Structure formats: structure tokens, C-alpha cells
Amino acid sequence: MSDQKQLTRRRLLKTSAAAATAATAAPYFFTRGALADSHAYRNAPTGDSVTFGFNVPQTGAYSEEGKDELRAYELAVEHINAGGGGMLDTFSSKALKGGVNGKKVKFVTGDTQTKSDAARASAKRMIENDGAIMITGGSSSGVAIAVQGLCQEAGVIFMAGLTHSNDTTGKDKRANGFRHFFNTEMTGAALGPVLKNAFGSDRRAYHLTADYTWGWSQEGSIKKYTEQLGWQTAAAVRTPLGAGDFSQYITPVLNSGADVLVLNHYGKDMVNSLTNAVQFGLRDKQVNGKDFAIVVPLYSRLMAQGAGENVKGIFGSTNWHWSLADEGSKAFVKSFGEKYGFPPSQAAHTTYCQAILYADACQRAGTFKPSEVGKSLEGFKFDGLGNGPTEYRADDHQCFKDVLVVKGKENPSSKFDVLEVVEVTPRAKVEYPASLLGGELGPYNNG
Amino acid sequence: MDGLFLQILNGLDKGGAYALIALGLTLVFGTLGVVNFAHGALFMLGAFCAVALQRIFATSYQAVSETKKDFLGNPLKEDVPYIQDWFGPDVAAFLMDWSVPMSILLAVPVMALIGVIMERGLIKHFYNRPHADQILVTFGLAIVVQEIIKHYFGANPIPQPAPDIVAGAANVGAWVGLGENVVYPWWRLVYFGFSAAVIFGVFAFLQFTNFGMVVRAGMQDREMVSMLGINIQRRFTIVFGLAAVVAGVAGAMYTPTLPPDYHIGMDFLVLSFVVVVVGGMGSLGGAVLAGFLLGVLQSFASMNEVKSILPGIDQIIVYLIAVIVLLTLPRGLLGRKGVMEE
């Protein structure tokens, strides 16, 4: 019995050592292979098609956004394979002529569930089992950062979806990751001056902040820019994610002496906290002889619908809005609206752009190899995708473009007509040095 | 003082919702001995009765506008509610405005029916099974119900405004001699009054009617009541329906406070189980007492003054209290001997 135990233990130790060696060496096998053949890379397509992996929340609280992202991806694939349609017709690059590098685009989908573990598992499955050459999508910064890390390790490109935290292209940036969506730094820079014009420079702000990476990032940016304009911060209170009823966090605002409430919440938390704030009469209140103001720094039209009339007159920012009148936006709204019967959300817009931008970069690079595609995207300047002249900055793989400041519409004409654009802040005013947000891109990984 | 008073109101309001859900859970456990994890789904279904009634009132035909354009630049197809054509714009506006309170009229029969079908169709087969089986099957049922609701109504919250007459906040401070900053939403005050009325109604029903007397006797000794020739099983089925109705009307009336989505029941369920355990398994009074107690303590723990001393306390207070109560009073605040004790 004792011998058997020893034998088992020894075998266990041997097996563990072998497994550990294999696990440690595995990444180098890929690297060695890649170095031996400069054309080899992870999931290099061999047939007449190439597979994109769309990793979006199909279940859970953000599944409506996920569905809209999937619709946009399907539309983008249609347009890429057809070599035209939608914003592909207005896109300044004319490299795509039907398919990518002579291959038809196919896609597989995964469900992030808006959980980092689930998102990584579905991305891994698409890379390892389905041969996805690129992963894109998502509706949360926590998820985006987790999947970006996985794609870097696996050696495929990650085209981030809806992620607004500075960290995605700041301290957690990776060479294989690219973000089209704006971030909290840009929101602060765009929103600050508009808030000053609307409410003056003598204000005391009370922040309620979702207690996770995006919330901290958003709170920091808004505090930074409003304090630069002369505002004081009365308090910044962290609230648990998914708190449900926010009344116990709203009531202290009443006696705080603050005259602005900043809700650094997104999704359902935003709907609930804004609804609660309006219920407590904050929108109609007067403090210090001034009208009390509520600010929601990041708006999502899909989510704002959930707050109903409570969004009226509330300022915020957004990456894109379907009411924009430029040719790219009009073409996208038309193609999306005719296919699905309603206008696209900002989540749909950014994911459509990401699919098009990736396909175009591959076509221009003449390969799907991540390092070559990445270089093709770095410093790429383009127009016609709904945000005006845009650049994928090489230093941090962040897109720089105009930022929209919006306000809840007082007299909406339909259920989609929730927000109105009050200012388009030019790119120059929201740009910052890449070193500001820290992090290192590191080298590309080709798998 | 103003802040403290407001947090007491918050706690009572929150506690009202906890108590209503916990009351239904306790009724089912006390009578049928079933740990019903689908009870949160019943709260959610009640909330969607309010959504459904609003949708019924808003059922429309489309009229092409001659002046307005849609997002594609085509003539706008405007929704014209049938009730507007049938009863005129004033009546239509009144019905839409009062759809949430009126949804109780829909929620009571619908939830009673759902409760009875659930009990007869599924729960009764698990009476003599271990609690673990009951938890698994009812939790599974809750997920199925959630997904059905998500399929038909989507995943996003759906706003349900309170009637205009109770929109906005009441100047509660003036009523009790406190500052003008002490305001509280009218609808939350209505909800607190509603919770108190439902709780009182359920207790009165069980205390002062023959039916209630039999049910209470059955909760004490089911076999003895059966031996007296009373069909206690039929009465317990009705009690399950009653518990579903209580959860349902609680959900329907809660919708103006928080826009409902398919997950709203789950958000309350875990807390409500803690309430039941702290109150004492099978104790109706304990469920109500613990509901209000935990609601008030949760609100106090969220005060900035408290959080500055004990960071993060707002997120654990309910569970901390549960641990303390169970260590000092293993049967909960008002638990009876022999319940869930082998």
C-alpha cells in the first residue's frame, strides 16, 4: 500500500514536471516555427476562405448590444465579400474589391456573457477549434482587456468592440490589440468645456462610480477635466456593480451641498441610478441658487431607452450617433436600417468599422500575418466611416477622431430618437500623448 | 439627522420589497416544505404583468404621416393606439398613466393561475424529495422563465412610469420638522404603504379566516389535520397561488422604482433567502421583521460616514448580519423548533 502511494506520488511528480515543461515551452514552439518560416503565423488560411471570430455578449445584461454588434458584423461581412455597400462605399481606402486577399470571409461567433472568463473561453475556442484569424467584439472594458491579453498570447489580432476604459489602450495595451471606440480621457476632454458652458465654472460635483476598471477610469477623467475648469469635487462614492436600487447612494447627495451629480455608470446601472436620481427630484432641484444638474458621461442609445423620459436634458458623450449627416453615417444607417428595420447603435457602428478596418488592413498588407496587418493599421489615416478624418495612432493602437457630446432629447420623434448631438468636439481637442496613460505595446505575436 | 432619517425611509422602502418576497417564500416553505428558488421569477413575472398591460394599452395600428419622416427619410409610420380611437385621447392618456396600479388587476389572476399550475404541474412531484432536488428544479425553472421573458421582451430594462399624480418627490422634511432637503419619492412612499397593506392582509387572512386557521394548523401538524378529514393538500395549493400573487403584485408595483428586466427577480432572490433565514425558516413574522431590519441596516451601511470607517461594509452588511444572527440565534430571529432540523 505504501509502495503504491510512493509510486503514485512519483508518477504524479514526473507527470507534473513533464506537463510544466511542455506548458512553459509551448509558446516557444510557436515562436520557433514562426521564426523558421517568416510567412507562418497562427491560423494562416489555406483554402479559399478566411474566418473572423465575433465575440459578443449574446446572453446576459448586455445581450441587446451584443445582438446589434452581431448584426453589424454580418452586414460588414456581406459588404467585404461583395466589395461594396454601406460605409465601404464611402470609406477613403478603396483596397477591398470583394473578399480579402482573394479569400471569402466567413465568421464564427462566441458568447462573452460579459464575463471575462467566459469571453476568454469563447475566444480560445474560436482560435483553436474554428481557426479564427482575428477576434473582435465585446461590450465591457473588463472583458476587452481580458480577451486582448488572450489574443496577444495566442498570436491573433484583437479588434476591440465597445470598450471605453483608458486602460484598454493605456496601461493594458498590447501590440496585437486595436481600438476604434473612444475612451474616458476623450470623454472628459470633450464633455468638460460643454459642461462649463452649460452650467458655469462654479460647481460642486458629486460622483457615483461603478466600482470596476471602467468606472474608475471615467471618474478620474471627468474629475480631472472639470476641476481644471474650476469645479470642485464634493465626493466620489464607489457603488457595487449591479447595485439595483441606488436610493441609499442618492440620498446623501441631497445634503452634500453638491449641485451636479455625475453618474459614472453604464448599462443597467446607469438606467437604475438615473431613474432613482430623477425620482428623488434632483433634476428639478435648486442648490446654491443654481439648477441642479445630472451628467451621464457615457451614453448608449440602446440603454438610454431603458431610462425613458429620465434622460431628457441630461448631458453625456457617445462615439457615434445615427442622426449624423455625413455621407458615411448616412450610408451605414441606410444599409443597416433597410436590412434590420431600425437604426444602428454606437456598438453596431464601432464593430462594423473594426471589421472593415481589419479587412482593409489585411488587403493592403497582402497577408493576414498579425505583425504585417498591425503595421498596416499603425498610423493609418482614413475617412468616410462616420467620424470624420480618423487615425489609428501607432503609439497605442487607439483611434483618434471627433467626439460627440449629446443630450437627452426633450421632444423625441420616435423611440430611437432619444439623444441629440449638441457638439462635435474636434479630434485636436481630445488628443493626448500616448505616454499619458502608460503601458507598453510590446512586440507583435504571430502565434 | 436629515441623512439618517432619509436612510431609515430607504431601509423601510427596500425592506418592504424584501419582506413581501420573503413572506411568499416563507408561506411556501412553511406549508409545503419546499425551498422555492423560482420565487424571484414570480416577482419578475408580476413586474412583466405591468409591462404587458402597458403594451396592451399601447397596441397600435400604423398611420402614415404626411409631414414627418423616419430615420431612413421615408414617410413616418406613426403608431396610433387603438384605445385612442376607441375611447378618445383623454381616456387613452389616463389608462397609460395609470397602467402600473391597474396592472394589479391583471397580476392577481395571472399570478394565481401561474402559481397553481406551477405547484400542480411541477412542485408537487418534489414534496418528498431532498431540499437539494427542490432547489435544483426550482432554480432551473427560474432560468427557463427568465429566458422566455428575455426572448419576448428583450434584455434591456423597460421603463414603467408612475402615475403623474405621484411623480416626483414629497417634501417629507416639512412633515416631520426636518430640513427642506429631506425629500422622498412619492411612489416609494406609496410602495411602502402598499407593502404594509399586503403584509397586513396576508396576516389577517391567515389569522381571522377559517381557511387561514386550517392552513396554520397544517403548518403545525400536517398529518393531524389530514386525519381530521380536511383536504390540506388543496389548501396548500391555494397557499402556493397566494404566495405567487403576493410576489407578483410586489413585482408589478415595483416597476416605477426600477425599470424591470428579465433578471430583476434574481437580483432580489438571494437577498430574500437571507431574509428568510435570518427571520427564521417558516416564520411569517420573522420574514417581515428581518426584511425591514436588513433593509434599514443595508441603507445605514451605505452612508458615507459609515463607509469612511468601514470601507466596503455596504456590500457585505446583509451577509454579516446573517452570520451574526445564525451564530447567536441558530433558528433565526423568530424561528420555530423543528423546522429544517432533522
Residue spans in chain A of domains classed CATH 3.40.50.2300: 49-182+322-396, 185-318
Question: Between residues B73 and A357, which one has the greater pLDDT?
Answer: A357
Structural domain contains residue B299 = yes
Share of chain B above pLDDT 70, in %: 98
Question: Which chain B residues touch A338 with a CB distance below 8 Å?
Answer: 72
Question: In chain B, which residue's Cα lies nearest the Cα of A257?
Answer: B181
pLDDT of the residue at B1: 76
What are the b/e assignments for B32-64, b being 16+ CB within 10 Å?
A: bbbbbbbbbbbbbbbbbbbbbbbeebbeeeeee
Q: Do A280 and B184 touch (CB under 8 A)?
A: yes
A:B CB pairs within 8 Å: 119
Indicate the pLDDT class of residue B117, thresholds 50, 70 and 90: very high
Sign of CA dihedral A82, A84, A88, A94: positive
Question: In chain A, which residue's Cα lies nearest the Cα of B77?
Answer: A414
Q: Looking at residue B20, which CATH number applies to its domain?
A: 1.10.3470
pLDDT digits (tens, 9 = 90+) for A221-246: 999 999 999 999 999 999 988 778 89
Q: Where are the alpha helices (DSSP H) in chain B?
A: 2-32, 39-57, 82-87, 89-97, 99-121, 131-153, 172-176, 186-208, 210-220, 222-227, 232-254, 264-279, 284-301, 304-309, 313-328
Structural domain contains residue B64 = no
Q: What's the distance, CA B183 to chain centroid?
A: 24
Half-sphere exposure of A403 (CA within 13 A, CB side): 30
pLDDT of the residue at A335: 97
Share of chain A above pLDDT 90, in %: 76
Question: Which chain B residues touch A324 with a CB distance below 8 Å?
Answer: none
What is the reported pTM? Answer: 0.86
Q: Please name the amino acid found at residue A330.
A: K
Q: Please name the amino acid found at residue A359.
A: A
Q: What's the distance, CA A374 to chain centroid?
A: 18
Structural domain contains residue B86 = no
Share of chain A above pLDDT 70, in %: 91
Sign of CA dihedral B51, B56, B62, B67: negative
- Which residues in chain A (42-101) have CB-CB distances under 8 A to chain B? 60-64
pLDDT of the residue at A11: 55
Question: Which chain B residues touch A210 with a CB distance below 8 Å?
Answer: none
Mutate to test the interface with A, among B69, B270, B302 (most CBs of A within 10 A): B302
pLDDT at B61 over 90: yes
Of residues A216, A198, A195, the one with CA closest to residue A207? A216
Q: Give mean pLDDT, residues A97-119.
A: 95
Q: Give mean pLDDT, residues A376-402.
A: 97
pLDDT digits (tens, 9 = 90+) for A409-432: 998 888 888 999 999 999 999 999
Mutate to test the interface with A, among B72, B79, B153, B299 (most CBs of A within 10 A): B72
Structural domain contains residue B118 = yes
Q: What's the distance, CA A9 to chain centroid?
A: 48
pLDDT of the residue at A10: 55
Q: Do A414 and B71 touch (CB under 8 A)?
A: yes
Q: Does the beta carbon of A31 lie under 8 angstroms from any beta carbon of chain B?
A: no
Q: What's the distance, CA B77 to chain centroid?
A: 38
Whole domain around residue B260: which residue ranges? 2-59+101-328
Question: In chain A, which residue's Cα lies nearest the Cα of B254?
Answer: A245
pLDDT at A1 over 50: no
pLDDT digits (tens, 9 = 90+) for A161-184: 999 999 999 999 999 999 999 999
Of residues A113, A111, A105, A162, the one with CA closest to residue A134? A105
Q: Give mean pLDDT, residues B50-64.
A: 94
pLDDT at A35 over 60: no
Average pLDDT, chain A: 90
pLDDT at A30 over 70: no
pLDDT at A3 over 50: no
Sign of CA dihedral A325, A328, A330, A333: negative
Question: In chain A, which residue's Cα lies nearest the Cα of B301?
Answer: A248
Closest Cβ opposite residue B169 in set A63, A279, A413: A279
Indicate the pLDDT class of residue A14, thresholds 50, 70 and 90: low
User: Which CATH superfamily is A185-318 part of?
Assistant: Response regulator (3.40.50.2300)
CATH topology of domain A49-182+322-396: Rossmann fold (3.40.50)
pLDDT at B244 over 90: yes
Q: Please name the amino acid found at residue B313.
A: I
pLDDT of the residue at A39: 62
> A324: helix, coil or strand?
coil
Q: Do B314 and A254 touch (CB under 8 A)?
A: no
Task: Compute CA distances A76 → A70, A335, A380, A385, B71, whole Å.
Answer: 10, 10, 20, 12, 20
Q: Do A61 and B161 touch (CB under 8 A)?
A: no
ipTM of the prediction: 0.86
pLDDT at A252 over 50: yes
Closest Cβ opposite residue B258 in set A244, A255, A416: A244
Distance from CA of B251 to the nearest CA of A (A): 14
> A290: helix, coil or strand?
strand
Q: Do A247 and B70 touch (CB under 8 A)?
A: no
Question: Between residues B226 and A371, which one has the greater pLDDT?
Answer: A371
Question: In chain B, which residue's Cα lies nearest the Cα of A60?
Answer: B155
Q: Does the beta carbon of A252 lie under 8 angstroms from any beta carbon of chain B?
A: yes
Question: In chain B, which residue's Cα lies nearest the Cα of A301?
Answer: B156
Q: Do A255 and B72 touch (CB under 8 A)?
A: no
Pairing of strands A104-111, A403-408: unpaired
Phi, psi of B258 (to 5 degrees): -135, 125
Mutate to test the interface with B, among A58, A237, A247, A285 (most CBs of B within 10 A): A247
Range with the poorest average pLDDT among A51-65, A164-178, A327-341? A51-65
Closest Cβ opposite residue B158 in set A235, A248, A306: A306
pLDDT at A71 over 90: yes
pLDDT of the residue at B27: 87
pLDDT at A16 over 80: no
Question: In chain B, which residue's Cα lies nearest the Cα of A322?
Answer: B71
pLDDT of the residue at B338: 63
What is the DSSP secondary-structure string of A364-431?
HHTS--HHHHHHHHTT-EE--SSSSSEEE-TTT-BEE--EEEEEE-SS-SSTT--EEEEEEE-HHHH-
pLDDT of the residue at A5: 43
Question: Which chain B residues touch A272 with a CB distance below 8 Å?
Answer: 157, 258-259
pLDDT at A20 over 80: no
Closest Cβ opposite residue A309 in set B157, B161, B303: B161
Residue A236: CB atoms within 10 A of its CB come to 17
Q: How far apart are CA A127 and CA A129, in angstroms?
A: 6
DSSP A100: B
pLDDT of the residue at B267: 82
**What is the number of domains present in chain B?**
1
Distance from CA of B97 to the nearest CA of A (A): 13
Q: Do A272 and B259 touch (CB under 8 A)?
A: yes
Distance from CA of A301 to the nearest CA of B (A): 11
